Amino acid sequence: MSFQVFGIPVSRGVAIGRAVLVASSRVDVAHYFIAEAQIESEIQRALRARDVVAAELEALKQDLPGDAPHELAALLDVHLMLLHDDALTGATKQWIIERHYNAEWALSAQLEVLARQFDEMEDDYLRERKADLEQVVERVLSALAREQGHAPVDAASVVQRDFAGEDPLLLVAADIAPADMMQFKRSVFHGFITDIGGKTSHTAIVARSMDIPAVVGTREASRLIRHDDWVIIDGDAGAVIVNPSPIMLEEYRFRQRQSELERARLTRLRHTPAVTLDGERVELHANIELPADAAGAIESGATGVGLFRSEFLFMNRGGELPSEEEQFIAYKAAVEAMRGMPVTIRTVDVGADKPLDRMSASELRHEHVLNPAMGLRAIRWSLAEPSMFRQQLRAIYRASAFGKVRLLIPMVAHLGEVRQILESVKKVQQQLTDAGQAFTKVDLGVMVEIPAAAVMLPLILRHVDFVSVGTNDLIQYTLAIDRADEAVAHLYDPWHPAVLQLLSRSIAESVAAGKSVSVCGEMAGDPVFTDLLLAMGLRSFSMHPSQIPSVKQRILRADAARLARVLPQVLASEDPQREAQAVFASHKVTHSLQ
């Protein structure tokens, strides 16, 4: 029987294949009492399983591929911290000693205790860590089962299985742990479906980086779909169609072929300059996390790097910070790979959902309770660690001797922070001069992510060379919404009038001051917003390299002057999205691509 399941679309396109279910290893956990004489051996069983999982996670950290999103390394570190937290391992031991539970029962019992505690917590981010805790426990239970010789089918075993046949495979799971996602990046799966998750979940991040369709937050998919069912993933509509009829199957196969042809057609635009119909030239830059990503940026036709997320170099290091030399080598490699095109390096942005792995589990919990999204993160952390900050600045300035480098500071909200940054830059320049090390002029920019920065931007612009608007955080902070919280995810609205007013004003004020301005958040890479951003006067976009062709196509078909004339109607509307669709369509000139 054919049926449909709906969820959140997080990676576009159509995937068709047979379902591979990754069942939770918490199913059918053995429950039995042990004798007094068995207590010590049962504790050792639990500890051995914990150590096996720790070794697996450490191995995954060491084997992270070069194109892995930096968020995955941070999530692996969180899982390691939870694994060694005494609230889990110590309490599990007590269940064994006091109640004579077997290891599996003790671990499951403690999970239920902790899960209830997570549910009662007020902090949104910390509540979300319940899913991470469940994934850690599942891996330990799986290790215990393997030791007993009856391992369940879990994510790790699935990826190693040699599947027969040529049918494409789609992964279906309640959730997919970061550790397993790293293995799936090298696997045969053509799409992902999960019961939980949101647009910023690790499953969504990896799916987008792999450029394959994915739907998350389906709630019941893993329970309703059976192994080997034929499934269609509609990554555009957020729909999952199970056992489709022959007519529907053929329709989606046609859409799949059309999508492939469209991608092939867009590749022809790789070397075409992004110029609007009325002659406005637009820069399309790439967001990268590793020097090796620069090759993909070049291949996509990027005209520079608009955002090099340097925090990747600081994570997954067992608590050690990268040296100045190590950072210099990485920045230099990216600069040289871009062949003279500009590379914008953002100083380390840790905190919130990107904690350093040198934090202990208790420190991590303490930070989260204090609301980490508004705590010691990004430039606040850098200024609190002046030695580390100057070390990074020296590495960035040294790399400037090998190409065009721009320095970008995240989460600025105070003029006092700008002054401290300028003092640090001046001190670093003097240190390099005294040491006889070469460097050239480096433009200094700040990110507009906090509403305060947008409101006081004219004052900030007096001290900086350029501005980059981080729309993800700007939306989050403007609307007071945790974009990773499923309960309020529907309120995360890029079209909200307040967001558009801040965005439009930030672009206009930067242009009026003669300072370059770009957008590097999700809005920049979404063609739905291309006309809007052009109308606001934006002429520099930065996005994932895979998004560049579709955005370039929209630019080539747009008349920026006509779009700008109707922008006031959009900004004044109670429903900006609907108004934009109407007025932009009526004032747009299109042409067929040659």
d(CA 99, CA 110): 12
Residue 26, number of CB atoms within 10 A of its CB: 17
Residue 251, classed as helix, strand or coil, is helix
Is 486 annotated as contributing to ligand binding?
no
Query: Taking CA 206 as the corner, what is the angle to CA 202 and CA 211, rounded to the nearest 5 degrees?
Result: 145
Instruction: Give the E-state strand segments of 217-268 in sequence order.
Output: 230-234, 239-242
DSSP class of residue 317?
A: S
The residue among 261, 477, 182, 251 whose CA lies nearest residue 352 is 477
Region of 580 on the Ramachandran plot (φ > 0 left; ψ -120 to 50 alpha; else beta): alpha
What is the SS3 assignment for 555?
Answer: helix
Q: Is 472 annotated as a binding residue?
A: yes
Q: Known catalytic residue: 271?
A: no
Check the annotation: does 309 bind a ligand: yes
586 phi, psi to nearest 5 deg: -80, -20
Contact of 482 with 124, CB cutoff 8 Å: yes
Q: Catalytic annotation on 150?
A: no
Q: How far apart are CA 382 and CA 428, in angstroms?
A: 14
Identify any residues that bridge with 194 across adjacent strands, giving them in sequence order.
Answer: 173
473 is in an annotated binding site: yes
Q: At what angle do helices 386-399 and 415-435 cross, to 10 degrees?
A: 60
**CB-CB contact of 559 with 278 (8 Å):** yes
For every residue of 151-163, which 3-state class applies, written as one string? Answer: CCCCHHHHHHCCC
Closest listed residue to residue 335, CA positions, set 391, 287, 402, 396: 402
For residue 392, give both structure tokens.
């990074």
Judge contact between 398 and 390, C-beta under 8 A: no
Q: CA-to-CA distance for 52 and 248, rounded, in angstroms?
A: 46
Residue 122 DSSP class? S
- Please indicate if the annotation marks 346 as binding a ligand: yes
Taking CA atoms, 446 is separated from 267, 454, 534, in Å, by: 33, 11, 21
CA distances from 74 to 270, 287, 561 (A): 33, 18, 44
CA-only gyration radius of the chain, Å? 25
Task: Give the Cα separation of 86 and 92 in Å (integer).
Answer: 9
Q: What are the DSSP E strand ranges found in 434-504?
A: 443-448, 466-469
Kindly list the strands in the beta sheet with 214-216, ordered across the sheet, starting from the edge strand earlier in the chain.
Answer: 3-6, 239-242, 230-234, 14-22, 169-173, 189-194, 214-216, 8-11
Tell whether 257 is in a known binding site. Answer: no
DSSP letter assigned to residue 67: T
Q: Which of 79, 285, 520, 544 is catalytic?
A: 520
The one catalytic residue in 202, 285, 368, 587 is 202
- The annotated binding site is made up of 309, 346, 449, 472-473, 483
- The annotated binding site for phosphoenolpyruvate is made up of 309, 346, 472-473, 483
Residues forming the active site? 202, 520
- The annotated binding site for Mg(2+) is made up of 449, 473
